[in-house]
């Protein structure tokens, strides 16, 4: 698969690690000029220190851009210091790109998942976690056909999200956060990288989701049918 | 050992007799089912057994004599005699947890209720058999892979 543009949405516990590892991999390859878009409207603050990778305070997208462009000279970084919405998604997410979605709410997952369904070719790798377990979903669309299920197909909690996106939250809501563990964020980031590697290096489009559990040290990948394949199997296609 | 009946023979039986027959075949979840549904489930169970008989019809390890006897043996005995081509264990998973359970002939709903705590299955989790979303009434066949979809992590 030929990639020219990568978009990383969300630069918190998962995204701040992931942006570094993906950049390192891309930078080591001789695959021409790559643009990496970094998207996050939140600021890095002292309270984030225990599980987020930043070297200075400020907007996460802008700080991360400065850090990464100093380390990885072959990559063109663009920072978007905003929370993604429908309008900015149309501006930032392009056809034929790879999107890493590392946000902390299902509302944004649904927004991005629904948005990229209109593309002919796209790869969307989305990660999320609770305290000690997590999952990574892989949505691949090729030549206008779903190769793997979208983020919402098997997940009603994403199809009908009950949470809010960051731009709908009050300052008080934004400042509150559930406890998270750096190790869990780190593992999600690693599985997102594994999905990325499988797709671009091995052309392996089989897996649609992987779950892991830090406490049992188990991981389990899933192969699932797309919505259309499901309809065909049931005979109502 | 359980005899296999034709559809006509099954139709002639009472609901109580059919339920008794299901017990012999290890088919569960039929205690409140209607007669038509019970018969349909039994016939599906027969089809599955027959499918394995046909698949291995030319197998050197399986004599004609054995094939003649297949309708009169249980699925488990069949499994042993036919070189274990009939898998009595089904892979069941939820999230990162997974294991193999002897649930051939059981419904997805039964498996969910039985192994819910072990696999940490949420009550409204969807059942997925061989990658396809199914209802709780779906009866599991040999070789099926069952997953209960765990909710996605919300944080990041």
Q: Pairing mode, if any, of strands A5-9 and A133-142? A: unpaired
Considering the segment(s) A5-234 as one domain, its CATH architecture is: 3-Layer(aba) Sandwich (3.40)
Per-residue pLDDT, averaged over A15-33, amounts to: 91
Read off the pLDDT of residues B45-94 as tens digits, 9 standing for 90 and up. 887 765 544 444 444 444 444 444 444 445 555 454 454 455 678 999 99
Which range of residues forms the domain containing residue B97?
90-148
Q: Do B133 and A230 touch (CB under 8 A)?
A: yes
Read off the pLDDT of residues A95-138 as tens digits, 9 standing for 90 and up. 999 999 999 999 999 999 999 999 999 999 999 999 999 999 99
The residues, ordered by sequence, that sit 6+ positions from B71 with a Cβ below 8 Å of its Cβ are B3, B4, B49
pLDDT at B110 over 60: yes
Residue numbers in B near A102 (CB within 8 A): 156
Q: What local confidence, expressed as pLDDT, does residue A236 receive?
A: 54
Q: B63 with B36, same domain?
A: yes
Q: B75 with B133, same domain?
A: no
- In this prediction the pTM is 0.77
The alpha carbon of A37 is separated from its chain's Cα centroid by a whole number of angstroms, namely: 12
State ipTM.
0.89
Q: What local confidence, expressed as pLDDT, does residue B72 receive?
A: 43
Per-residue pLDDT, averaged over A213-224, amounts to: 95
The counts of H helices and E strands in chain A are: 8, 11
Q: Is B144 on the interface with A (CB under 8 A)?
A: no
Tell me the pLDDT of chain B averaged across its residues: 79
Residue numbers in A near B97 (CB within 8 A): 213, 216, 218, 220
- Chain A residue whose CA is closest to B135: A234
Tell me the CATH number at B114. 3.10.20.30
3-state secondary structure of A61: helix
The domain boundary, picked from B51, B81, B111, lies at: B81
Q: Is B120 on the interface with A (CB under 8 A)?
A: no
The residues, ordered by sequence, that sit 6+ positions from B20 with a Cβ below 8 Å of its Cβ are none
Q: B76 with B120, same domain?
A: no
Query: How many Cβ atoms are within 10 Å of A87's Cβ, its own excluded?
Result: 9
């Amino acid at each position: 698969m030929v990639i020219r543009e990568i978009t990383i949405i969300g630069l918190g516990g998962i995204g701040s690690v992931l942006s570094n590892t993906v950049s390192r991999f891309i930078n080591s390859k001789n695959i021409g000029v790559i643009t990496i878009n970094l998207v996050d409207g939140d600021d890095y603050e002292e309270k984030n220190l225990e599980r987020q990778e930043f070297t200075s305070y400020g907007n996460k997208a802008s700080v991360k851009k400065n850090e990464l462009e100093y380390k990885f000279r072959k990559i063109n970084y663009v920072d978007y210091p905003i929370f993604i919405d429908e309008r900015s998604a149309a501006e930032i997410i392009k056809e034929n790109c790879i999107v890493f979605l590392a946000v902390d709410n299902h509302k944004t997952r649904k927004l991005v998942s629904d948005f990229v369904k209109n593309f002919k070719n796209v790869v969307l790798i989305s990660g999320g976690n609770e305290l000690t377990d997590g999952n990574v979903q892989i949505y691949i669309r090729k030549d206008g056909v779903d190769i793997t299920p979208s983020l919402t197909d098997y997940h009603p909690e994403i199809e009908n999200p009950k949470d809010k996106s960051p731009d709908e939250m009050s300052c008080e809501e934004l400042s509150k956060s559930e406890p998270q563990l750096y190790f869990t964020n780190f593992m999600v980031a690693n599985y997102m990288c594994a999905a990325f590697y499988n797709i671009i290096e091995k052309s392996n489009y089989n897996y649609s989701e992987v779950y892991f559990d830090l406490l049992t040290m188990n991981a389990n990948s899933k192969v699932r049918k797309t919505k259309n394949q499901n309809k065909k199997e049931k005979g109502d296609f | 050992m359980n005899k296999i009946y034709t559809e006509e023979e099954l139709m002639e039986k009472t609901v109580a007799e059919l339920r008794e027959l299901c017990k012999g075949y290890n088919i569960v979840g039929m205690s409140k089912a209607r007669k038509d549904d019970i018969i349909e489930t039994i016939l599906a169970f027969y089809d599955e057994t027959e499918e394995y008989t046909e698949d291995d019809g030319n197998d050197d390890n399986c004599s004609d004599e054995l094939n003649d006897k297949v309708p009169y043996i249980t699925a488990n005995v069949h499994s042993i005699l036919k070189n274990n081509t009939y898998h009595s264990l089904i892979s069941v998973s939820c999230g990162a947890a997974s294991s193999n359970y002897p649930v051939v002939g059981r419904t997805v709903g039964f498996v969910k209720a039985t192994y819910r705590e072990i696999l940490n299955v949420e009550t409204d989790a969807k059942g997925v058999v061989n990658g396809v979303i199914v209802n709780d009434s779906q009866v599991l066949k040999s070789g099926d892979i069952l997953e209960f979809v765990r909710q996605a992590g919300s944080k990041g």
